[in-house]
Structure 1
Amino acid sequence: MPDMPPVSLTERRKNETRLDIARTAAALFVADGLRATRAEDIARAAGVAPRTFYRYFPTKEESVAPLFAAGAQQWAEAVRGAPAELSVPDALRHAVRDALGVETAGAVESLDWVRSLLRMSVESAALRAVWADACHASEQTLLTVLGERAGAAHSLDLRLAAAVASAAVRVGVESWAVESWAVGDAAPGGREGAGPAALAERCLGALDAFPWP
């Protein structure tokens, strides 16, 4: 795989601004509620002008897209980083444990934001659309990664493999987000066997009979 060109300082700063706005938006959504929070409130709290906010995000719901995207892309990239000798199913499981395991402060924060936002998305079609876009982007990354591992073009089988694996992990994460709130589980990792990694891995287990490329 060819090396990616370095990211310019300007792009890094833009990405940092986008992420700062996203974290600010998520905090306000949790504190004040999605409906009560305006884009102008997010801009003020993030220390940017409203016109700057709208230059980055067309709606208040889309302002949390970087948080969804970071988590969704992290697991697809973890598949890329899995040991080359692993089969596709084992590489997927390895990636789930690596990306969704709660072992660092950063992972705890990321999962906590995602859980809160997914809980809100139950009652917000706009927020569900932002999550769906992030999952679709992750699926496309995974398709590329599986193609690299299989040394194959993007065939129908490969596209299906990426789609079913992405759906399995998405269902695991969504189930954890909703069910952990329902039982009042405050820990981002969830109860034993009910955390995001465990549930996602369980969903992947249902795909063992799939004819992986």
Structure 2
Amino acid sequence: MTAARGRTGRPPLTEARRTEVRREIARAAVDLFVAHGVTATTGEQIGRAVGLSARTVWRYFPSKESCVTPLFSAGIATLTGFLREWPPGQPLDRALDAWLTTGPDLAGGPDEVTVRALVRLTRTEPGLRAVWLQTYDEAEPAFARALAERAGLPPDDLRVTIRAAMFNAALRAAVEHYAWRDASAQGKQGDQGEQAGHPTAERELEATLRQALTAAAEGVR
């Protein structure tokens, strides 16, 4: 009697582990991009930082610039969840207070100072800029579904489409405004706050998001 042939080699990764590997690659890519620039960073360096080969990195991402996608997308996911849970008839500022109290991962992974540096790179690095804009292009339908569910409307309703576009534009504008502000304008106190656990940067990012989302929500009930 011949024994059944079992599967040999490394067992397949679970979806949770694949997600975590993607995040590890993303964090390593961000650190290298910020420290050395995109052009000077290679797939081999990104892989080496997380104990993988460049070939494995390319199995997860088609390009080195796309490695940061999970960090951009994570921030989108937190807002989508917020829009879905925002109770109809409740003022946005009250809902935002409850949302921020729970400690949402607004930055989508790395600390706020690194996020600021990464988003600044999207202004000068065309490859990163393309990934940044594509993330928001793909986010808009998710915002529409969340707002449609909240309002009891079909996702393709024109009112939903417009509101989703407003929130999408507000989120991107807020993060870019936060990232591209003149660093010297923050003053010495802001720099000290960022170095000591980044509380000032976190508060500034939250305040900017609050202002932008409140502006976008005018007329949305």
TM-score, scaled to structure 2: 0.77
Q: Does 2:52 correspond to 1:52?
A: no
Give structure 1 regions of 4+ aligned residues with deviation exceeding 4 angstroms: 99-104, 188-192
Tell me which residue corresponds to 1:135.
136
Q: Which letter does structure 2 place at the counterpart of 1:126?
A: G
Alignment of structure 1 residues 9-88 onto 2, 5 Å:
10-82=14-86, 84-87=87-90
Q: In the superposition, relative to structure 1, how do residues 108 and 38 fare at CA in structure 2: closer, same or farther (>3 Å)?
A: closer
Q: 1:60 to 1:18 in 2, by over 3 A?
A: same
Q: Which one of 168, 171, 179 corresponds to residue 169 of structure 1?
A: 171
Using the size of structure 1 for normalisation, the TM-score is 0.79
Asked if 1:124 corresponds to 2:125, the answer is yes
Measure how far apart 1:201 and its partner are: 2.3
Q: Does 1:206 align with 2:208?
A: no
Whole-Å separation in 2 of the counterparts to 1:15 and 1:97: 28
Gaps of 5+ in 2: 1-11
Residue 161 of structure 2 is matched in structure 1 by: 159
Q: Deviation of residue 133 (structure 1)?
A: 1.8
| 2:38 partner SS | coil
RMSD: 3.2
Give the gaps of 5 or more residues in structure 1.
1-7
The share of aligned pairs that are identical, in percent, is: 34
Partner of 1:183: 185
For the structure 1 residues 183 and 37, does the alpha-carbon distance in structure 2 shift closer, same or farther, using more than 3 Å as the test? farther
Question: CA separation of 1:209/1:74 partners in 2, compared to 1, >3 Å: closer, same or farther?
Answer: closer
Q: Tell me which structure has the larger Cα radius of gyration.
A: 2
